[in-house]
Structure 1
Amino acid sequence: MFNFWNMVDRYGSELQLLNQASGTWADNGDWIEGIDTTPTTFIGALAPLSVDDLQYAEEGTYSEKDRRLYTTEKLYKEQRFVQKEIPYTIQAEIPYGDELTDTRIYIARWAGNESRQDQVANSAT
């Protein structure tokens, strides 16, 4: 079994999983999205996508801001998490097979706000 956990332990950081309560149907038949509940903390390591990830993505085109997420947590497509105030959305799990690794690997799409990122970058200078 390949042990990615050493990498997660060494390079990982605390990430905030944004939990969303399940939605409900209103009396008039409209769907009401669930509201975010208290975030939970988990450990994960983010890494840039490889050239192969960028070239052969089944889920569409990725950008240089998207990342691979290494963690032991079971996450689901469209789940959201935050690292250093930067939001990401899980797009897919990379299937390595449970028998080959103790760590799950996901494609995480950057879900930030371009104008906010520019403001943060400009305030740092």
Structure 2
Amino acid sequence: MSKQFEFADFIEEFQVEFTAYNPTGKSGWNRDTMEYEENTIVPAQMVGIILPLSEDELRYAPQGTYSVKDKKLYVLEPLTLQQEIEYKSDRYVIQSFKDYSDYADVYIYYAAWRDKGGSKA
């Protein structure tokens, strides 16, 4: 059965590039360098639609108040909560996921803006 709402073409038409920072999930000794390596973060280029939040989204956020700097993302590949992304030199942290997977071929996330020091403004 196909999805009722297909956004892939829409995303491909209006997509922008951003960087997703993915933890490798690997910690341990590197046999080549003989050094201990913590779970490293690997940047990956992704595409999607990144939009400002609407007035209603800013007003009625279930997690509390969003900032006008926060964004909504439409992507074709899944992200994880608390994952960081970078778009136009600004950092964001994935805060919530709207699950429409039964109806659409897109993942929808809210991302909170982070200042350069890593704390939310």
Q: Same fold (TM over 0.5)?
A: yes
Relative to the length of structure 2, the TM-score reads 0.75
- Residue 39 (structure 2) pairs with residue 34 (structure 1): yes
Distance between the aligned counterparts of 2:84 and 2:26, measured in 1?
16
Partner of 1:99: 102
Q: Which structure carries more helix by proportion?
A: 1
Partner of 1:27: none
Identical aligned residues as a percent: 34
Indicate the SS of the match to 2:19: strand
- Residue 62 (structure 2) pairs with residue 58 (structure 1): yes
Distance between the aligned counterparts of 2:90 and 2:10, measured in 1?
21
Q: CA deviation at 1:63?
A: 0.7
Distance between the aligned counterparts of 1:13 and 1:72, measured in 2?
12
Aligned Cα RMSD in Å? 2.3
- Residue 50 (structure 2) pairs with residue 46 (structure 1): yes
Distance between the aligned counterparts of 1:81 and 1:16, measured in 2?
5
Indicate the SS of the match to 1:110: strand
Q: Which structure carries more strand by proportion?
A: 2
Relative to the length of structure 1, the TM-score reads 0.73
Return the letter of the residue paired with 1:61.
T
Moved more, 15-24 or 43-52: 15-24
Distance between the aligned counterparts of 1:73 and 1:87, measured in 2?
19
Distance between the aligned counterparts of 2:7 and 2:58, measured in 1?
21
Which stretches of structure 1, 4 residues or more, deviate above 6 A after TM superposition?
none
Structure 1: 5+ residue runs without aligned partners? 25-32, 115-125
Partner of 2:33: none
- Residue 7 (structure 2) pairs with residue 7 (structure 1): no
Partner of 1:118: none
Distance between the aligned counterparts of 2:16 and 2:81, measured in 1?
21
Q: CA deviation at 1:5?
A: 2.0
Return the letter of the residue paired with 2:65.
T
Moved more, 50-59 or 99-108: 50-59
